Amino acid sequence: MKRIKQIMKTRSLGRSGLEVSALGLGCMGMSHGYGIPQDREQMTALLRAAVDRGVTFFDTAEVYGPFTNEELVGEALAPFRGKVVIATKFGFGIGQPARNGSPALDSRPAHIREVVEASLKRLRIERIDLLYQHRVDPDVPIEDVAGAVSQLIAAGKVKHFGLSEAGVDSIRRAHAVQPVTALQSEYSLWTRGPEQEVLPTLEELGIGFVPYSPLGRGFLTGAMDASTSFVTGDFRNNLPRFSAEARDANQGLVNLLKSIGARSNATPAQVALAWLLARKPWIVPIPGTTRLHRLDENLGALALELTDNELDDLASAAERIGVVGNRYPEGLERMTGR
């Protein structure tokens, strides 16, 4: 394992020409999903510290909060308008009743237009750099969704179109109407579902890939074990993979990351991110954090180059270890891969 001198690199998301920092920053946890929202001033400082360190790719969504995360990101990054890429998402029916145990989805073209207008105001920008459909809506043909975004691109309100957790059929159908710049889905050493069909499809079509939760929602950092407890409101309390039994069973994967990292004084998180970065040059992970030292730790992965043997050993060992527990409850799992 050897070090490289350059700290920040850039990558292009597929053949779209959208260039971003090789690691982005997932902003959801600053105000959504992990219990009490973080202090706004502190998160503003963290976002600006990320820019200072060369991060140019920031990920948010209207549903995070809801709405408050976009407001935070918009205010914090206002001084850097034109120098950073902000991605946000539409697709949830916020305030609408759940359906069959799943959150309501709403990707009707009229709703997409409404969401974009509201997001532009909260983000304090004139054009959204990358607009994802957050989840595929089975009640709205994906061609209609892509067509609506195409019109927004023509109107100058959106620059690039993306999908999140979409299946291969939806990706192809959407791409035929409006070229898809990026797919955002969960991908890491303990969530490798995209490898079989999705990644080859993205490579064929020239679409970039943005893995969210590349550190397994914190598990792959090595900072938790079976005895770890989560605060009220932390959505990991409801994830099967984060039950005490599953965390205990999955420690083998963390131990593997630790053993490989020990060879060059790298942390488990850095090894996990370096593995992802080595998979394809058009993959841009977006680890989230609310702490400056974790931001610096994650960015340190850019200076870590795993050898081919280490990459192969890591992947094969991870497959042998296996992963215990589904990543989502049934209702949320049904919303992925459509």
Active site residues: 64
Q: What are the structure tokens assigned to 322, written together? A: 């296996």
Q: β-strands 208-212, 19-21: how paired?
A: unpaired
CA distance 217 to 94: 24
**CA torsion through residues 90, 213, 72, 23, sign:** negative
135 alpha carbon, distance to own chain's centre: 13
Query: Taking the C-alpha atoms of 67, 71, 73 and 78 in order, what is their torsion angle to the nearest 10 degrees?
Result: 150
